[in-house]
Amino acid sequence: MPSPLSRRNALLAGAAAGSALALTAPPAHAHRRPRGPFGCHGSPSARLTPTTLYVHPRGAGDFTGVQAAVDAATGPGRTLVIAPGVYRETVSVPADRTDMTWIGACDDARDVVVVHDNAAGTPKPGGGTYGTSGSATTTLRPDGFTARRITFANDWLRADHPGISGTQAVAVKVMGDRSAFFDCRFLGHQDTLYADSASPATVARQYFARCYAEGDVDFVFGRATAVFEDCHFRTLLRPDLSSAPFGFVFAPSTAVAAPRGFLVTRSRISSEAPDGFYKLARPWVPSSDPTARPMLTVRETRIDAGIDAVAPYANMSSGHPWQEQRFAEYRNTGPGAVITVPENRPQLDRVRAASHTPRAHLGDWRPR
């Protein structure tokens, strides 16, 4: 059983790590990296475009930190090329940095890591605590944000802070419309990936392709209209617990007026934990939006034995039972997808499934 400390060391070791943090399959061309810290993406002396900035932890770029580059990247359509390294900092991208792109200058997301270790209950220097949103290592507000081959992480550990009860620790909070992530990783424990919108009245379409996310409690959550395609979700061990459930993979909080919530398609859900120790999802109806009606569709996805096949859904609040939300499945496979109690596993028929697709969720937007 890997200890929490060994998991943190594996994160910082990047692509050389051999733990569950390295489960994302390396790309086919991982050993054909071009020369130079920025690979084929140019350099400060040979910029691909005038609006491209370069980040390198030891000074070979324009900036040594990601936040410094974001601060300098005023105006729309800026690109950050980020060299391999571990960037231990919090990063906040304002809403006016529209159509910004971050590119990991390598073939493997494990080589470019943006990480910090705040939790909701972490004391702030000026008093109070950070809260869930404030705990985020990276906060992305602009529309049109794109990331490629980057690891977003929060390595705050419960074992290090036994006196803190606010254990939510967000790796990334995404709020903008047309936000896309390709071949990225999202690492944490509770509340790892916060796929959100600016307000309950705002639709934020988000797309995650070939990504990897891990955690334990509600580690993919929020009210975005989010599509996860060809992704891998992995549930972690809980050294602090000895009985089920250890946690929940998804916790959508879709606004009642939103026609689309989370869609998981052609993906995989695996686990480090014993069989049946995790739930697939529970609905989150936040106090800030008491009329929310969470929506999750999981289709054509392999669900491994870590998920409780008999009762895969649970309530977060007794006043908002999961049966009254918009949860559905379609043609899933694996031991965690076996239908033993039909009323516990609402299924789409073929006609209804035709409206639960990436195209239906994303509308006129085609991520690329």
**Alpha carbon distance 56, 347 (integer Å):** 48
Distances (CA, A) of 191 to 18, 234, 315: 24, 13, 17
Compute the distance between CA of residue 157 and CA of residue 118 in angstroms, rounded to an integer. 9
Question: Active site residue: 117, 191, 196, 308, which one?
Answer: 191
* Residue 340 one-letter amino acid: T
- Pair 263, 250: CB distance under 8 Å: no
Q: Six-digit token pair at 189?
A: 């424990």
Question: Which candidate, 171, 65, 187, places its Cα nearest to that of 118?
Answer: 171
Catalytic site includes residue 191? yes
- For residues 86 and 113, is the Cβ–Cβ distance under 8 A? yes
Cβ-proximal residues to 329 (8 Å cutoff; 6+ apart), any chain: 297, 298, 299, 337, 345, 346, 347, 348
Q: Is the dihedral of CA 299, 300, 304, 305 positive or negative?
A: positive
In a 13 Å sphere around the CA of 75, the CA atoms on its Cβ side amount to: 8
Burial classification of residue 125, based on how many CB atoms lie within 10 Å of its CB (0-12 exposed, 13-18 middle, 19 or more buried): exposed
Quickly list DSSP for 273-306.
SPTT-EEEE-----TT-TT---EEEEES-EE-TT
Between CA 98 and CA 75 the distance in angstroms is 7
Annotation marks residue 111 as catalytic? no
The whole-angstrom separation of Cα 333 and Cα 245 is: 21
Catalytic residue among 183, 218, 304, 308: 218
Element (H, E) at 5: helix 4-13
Task: Tell me the chain's radius of gyration from C-alpha atoms.
Answer: 20
* Residue 206 CA: distances (Å) to CA of 100, 169, 286: 14, 21, 20
Q: How far apart are CA 184 and CA 283, in angstroms?
A: 25
Helix or strand holding residue 131 (H, E): helix 131-134
Residues known to be catalytic: 191, 218
